[in-house]
Amino acid sequence: MNVSKSELYIIIEADEDGYYVGEVPQLKTCYSQRKTIDELIANIKELIALYLEEEGDRESPEFVAIQKVII
């Protein structure tokens, strides 16, 4: 994979039950839900390491941006 760890982004949202949900848009199926942001980040890092170990040197889509739209 051509993406270094420093280039990965996590999208974090709060759900209706008070949990934080995180997703790494560059890595398919890399998402988690935890009670605190610190727990979420730690778990996402573990998931990223597992993903990279299993997928090896596969290409992943380039993360472009998150854009806020006001309607």
Residue ranges of domains in the chain, CATH in brackets = 5-55 (3.30.160.250)
pLDDT of residue 6: 57
pLDDT of residue 38: 97
Q: Which residues pair with residue 11 across a beta bridge?
A: 23
Q: 34 by DSSP, 3-state: which?
A: strand
**Minimal CA–CA distance to 47: which of 18, 27, 25, 20?**
27
pLDDT of residue 31: 94
- pLDDT (tens, 9 = 90+) of the chain, 71 residues, equals 445 445 789 999 999 999 999 999 988 889 999 999 999 999 999 999 898 888 876 777 788 888 889 99
Assigned token pair, 71 = 């309607």
